[in-house]
């Protein structure tokens, strides 16, 4: 386990952590680029953020913008903009909560669910291709599964 001593620029621990930060950054850039390319090839009608926001409404019908913002750790304004785009594309509908005119609940449309399933299929294909790529460069199945367990712990502590 890395000690929690103060980091000193130029020190060994500092350099090791900077290299790890660079690797993480490069990984997210490459994976994001591959995802964007797959979406472009498929003429994806929505962004990855829109698709995953739509997914949250499909898994949690009747969720509201505040709950989505808390879930994704984003501002209500940012989530509202994403939801507005999804609404314009016919993927979600807003319904006022009965007995509470201020609260607006979100529901996926049939069209939204169809587009979401197509996006999820591309996600699954991309994860599969990434895992195969990792196996080809010498990672073991156990190492790949460990990576996903670590990622799961990070997003769901």
Q: Report if pTM > 0.85.
A: no
Helix axes 110-136, 12-41, angle to 10 degrees: 130
pLDDT at residue number 4: 59
CATH of region 48-155, choose from 3.40.50.1000, 3.90.1170.50, 3.60.130.10, 1.10.10.10: 1.10.10.10
Rounded to whole angstroms, what are the CA distances from 78 to 49, 57, 92, 119, 152? 11, 16, 16, 21, 25
Element (H, E) at 121: helix 110-136
Indicate the domain borders of the chain.
Answer: 10-41, 48-155
- Summarize pLDDT for 73-94 with one digit per residue, the tens: 899 999 999 999 999 999 999 9
Beta carbons of 99 and 90 less than 8 angstroms apart: no
State whether residue 138 is helix, strand or coil. coil
pLDDT at residue number 72: 86
pLDDT at residue number 102: 80
pLDDT at residue number 153: 92
- Summarize pLDDT for 63-78 with one digit per residue, the tens: 999 999 998 889 999 9
Task: List, for the chain, all residue ranges whose pLDDT scores fall below the cut of 50.
Answer: none
For the chain, strand residue ranges (E) read 92-97, 100-108
């Amino acid at each position: 386990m890395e000690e929690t001593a103060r980091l000193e620029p130029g020190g060994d621990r500092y350099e090791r952590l900077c290299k790890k930060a660079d690797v993480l950054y490069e990984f997210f850039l490459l994976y994001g680029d591959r995802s964007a390319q797959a979406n472009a090839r498929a003429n994806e009608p929505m962004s990855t953020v829109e698709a995953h926001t739509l997914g949250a409404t499909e898994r949690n019908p009747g969720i509201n913008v505040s709950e989505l913002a808390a879930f994704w750790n984003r501002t209500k304004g940012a989530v509202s903009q994403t939801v507005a785009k999804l609404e314009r594309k016919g993927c979600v509908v807003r319904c006022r909560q009965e007995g509470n005119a201020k609260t607006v609940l979100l529901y996926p449309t049939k069209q939204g669910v169809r587009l979401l399933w197509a996006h999820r299929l591309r996600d699954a294909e991309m994860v599969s291709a990434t895992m195969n790529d990792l196996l080809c460069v010498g990672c073991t199945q156990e190492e790949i599964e460990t990576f996903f367990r670590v990622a799961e712990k990070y997003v769901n502590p």
